[in-house]
Amino acid sequence: MSFKVEKINTQPFSDQKPGTSGLRKKVTVFKQPHYLENFVQSIFDTLKDCNGQTLVLGGDGRYYNRQAIQVILKMAAANGFGRVIVGAGGLLSTPAASCLIRKYQTLGGIILSASHNPGGENGDFGIKYNINNGGPAPEQFTGAMYARSREIDVYQIAVADDIDIDRPGETSLGDMTIEVMDPVADYAELMTTLFDFDRISDYLKTGSLKICIDAMHAITGPYARAIFEQSLGAAAGSVIRAEPLEDFGGGHPDPNLVYAKELVELIYADNGPDFGAASDGDGDRNMILGKRFYVTPSDSLAVLAANADCVPGYRDGLAGVARSMPTSQAVDRVAEKLGIKSYETPTGWKFFGNLLDAGKATLCGEESFGTGSNHVREKDGLWAVLFWLNILAVKQKPVADIVTEHWQTYGRNYYSRHDYEAVESDRAERLMQQLRSTVTGLPGKTFGDYQIEYADDFSYTDPVDGSVSEQQGIRLGFTDGSRIIVRQSGTGTEGATLRFYYERHEADPAKQNLDPQQALAPLFEIAEAHMQIQENTGRDRPSVIT
Ligand code: G16
């Protein structure tokens, strides 16, 4: 293939600051001339020496994935990379990309996804760099990328025909080799080393556990079919919405009770499945459902930690657990009983990387439907489903029984998140600033039956490298352990999204069966009284409640 490198003069864009997880913008923003190229060159410039290095490349298949892959391949070749491993069709789930980076010890990887955000021509697109441990680049790196993007004036790209990324095999572009790989095989193989596939498969064959996995027309379809239907022998059709589509079939690939409506209807129907799960755009999130039963992500993490001895890959014990700050404290109680440490990090999977690398934590989780372990350095939706299936195959009990028995032992952490999406940025900023200015005066104050024990803007000092991340969300902690947390999302692409997280612990089994919205109502009232949420947001209710 003919090959010539061109140096293109460009001007910086001022808005290429990565958020909670990479750069996410509307497709229309990414399609501006030089926009994608500037950001990719900023990544390469930050890496400095790319000569002869190997990169993993793939995405969740959303609109613009294929075009972006062609641009990145040509830029990688022009910047001296020796090899790029690409998922066939340009597809790689986020956990599979992390798996490949680790397995083939590459310099890193570029993942194209806007995760749970909608896709299509008018939807969102995203790009993120993962480092050689397979995890998202830490803040120092993303900060340097952003700084570079503010001063960039030239990028390099090969002038060449488009590369065939659909057929597995090797091709070359100048001195660079492009290896198109089956996106599923290595990841599926890794799963067999962690879970008892025979036991799960035998249990599925008894017919006592009918499962339904909703891939939401996003990346997990091919993975879920290979693992659940082909390897484990679940009935054909157990994976629904299995075909990855560029616009996710017009849906919102966010696995929660609102956006996975079809699955929720099935699980609540007579003769519906006994176990349901959904994944997001890029396959790193999960939602777990039992028959007419929803497991909150925070409870899911706690249950996995408490039952890790059922699973071969974790039978030798957990080094520790970690959760993001807004995630409920349910897993802390399990850690205490196990005599291991529970780490509290800011929101963003990147903060777990150091803990996993240093062997301080084995399982990690977030309230935002993310759970994972030290097997890769990303959260992993299908891994969480397999973990649950392994526990079910050992316990041979319904999901609801496992969770309610868990509550009886540890107490129930009632939990709910209220999101106000696409709020005007200055309104959201005003609410945050007003709240921030009150925190120092709050400890000792009472609101009805509740007294504030501490109030702060969460600051995290990484126990491994000592780096400090400030202003990670306002915490109001009450003397009974209840909490209200407020933070601005770092993944939205329209205005500002405000998130309010509410949590209350209930030790009495007789009081553990309330609707969380009812159980948490006193905390909603405190938040409204103190923050005037309705007035400040201009909304009379949240856009999404999970
Ligand atoms: C990303 C991050 C998660 C975070 C989530 C929500 O997930 O990796 O750590 O919890 O965003 O972040 P925010 O509350 O700032 O919107 P994903 O699945 O979108 O990559």
Give pLDDT tens digits along the chain (546 positions).
Answer: 567 999 999 999 999 999 888 999 999 999 999 999 999 999 999 999 899 999 999 999 999 999 999 999 999 999 999 999 999 999 999 999 999 999 999 999 999 999 999 999 999 999 999 999 999 999 899 999 999 999 999 999 999 999 999 999 999 999 999 999 999 999 999 999 999 999 999 999 999 999 999 999 999 999 999 999 999 999 999 999 999 999 999 999 999 888 999 999 999 999 999 999 999 999 999 999 999 999 999 999 999 999 999 999 999 999 999 999 999 999 999 999 999 999 999 999 999 999 999 999 999 999 999 999 999 999 999 999 999 999 999 999 999 999 999 999 999 999 999 999 999 999 999 999 999 999 999 999 999 999 999 999 999 999 999 999 999 999 999 999 999 999 999 887 788 999 999 999 999 999 999 999 999 999 999 999 999 999 999 999 999 899
Domain with CATH 3.30.310.50 in the chain: 412-545
Domain with CATH 3.40.120.10 in the chain: 4-183, 187-410
Q: Looking at residue 1, what is its pLDDT?
A: 59
**Is residue 469 among the annotated active site residues?**
no
Query: Ligand 1: which of 347, 350, 352, 382 to mutate, judged by most atoms within 8 Å of the beta carbon?
Result: 347
Residue whose Cα lies nearest atom 9 of ligand 1: it is: 348
* Distance from Cα 96 to the centre of ligand 1, integer Å: 18
Residue whose Cα lies nearest atom 17 of ligand 1: it is: 115
Strand intervals (E) in 13-149? 23-26, 54-59, 83-91, 108-112, 124-130
* Distance from Cα 19 to the centre of ligand 1, integer Å: 9
Q: Looking at residue 493, what is its pLDDT?
A: 78
Active-site annotation holder among 42, 115, 368, 482: 115
Question: Which residues make Cβ contacts (< 8 Å) with residue 466, sequence separation at least 6?
Answer: none
Domain 4-183 class in CATH: alpha beta
φ/ψ region of 114 (left if φ > 0, alpha if ψ in -120 to 50, else beta) reads alpha
- Between the alpha carbon of residue 361 and those of residues 97, 372, 459, the distances in Å are 21, 11, 20
* Distance from Cα 477 to the centre of ligand 1, integer Å: 23
Q: Looking at residue 3, what is its pLDDT?
A: 78
* Distance from Cα 138 to the centre of ligand 1, integer Å: 14
pTM: 0.95
**Nearest CA to 47 among 4, 80, 14, 16?**
80
CA angle 9, 62, 32 (to 5 degrees): 25
Pocket-forming residues, ligand 1, beta carbon under 6 Å: 20-21, 115-116, 280, 284-285, 324, 347-349, 366, 368, 370, 489-491, 499
* Distance from Cα 373 to the centre of ligand 1, integer Å: 16
- Between the alpha carbon of residue 450 and those of residues 359, 372, 413, 444, 511, the distances in Å are 38, 34, 16, 10, 18
Residue whose Cα lies nearest atom 4 of ligand 1: it is: 348
104: three-class secondary structure by DSSP = coil
**Nearest CA to 307 among 203, 387, 234?**
387
Out of 3.30.310.50, 3.30.390.50, 3.40.50.300, 1.10.10.10, which CATH number does the structure's domain 412-545 have?
A: 3.30.310.50
Fold of 187-410: Alpha-D-Glucose-1,6-Bisphosphate; Chain A, domain 3 (3.40.120)
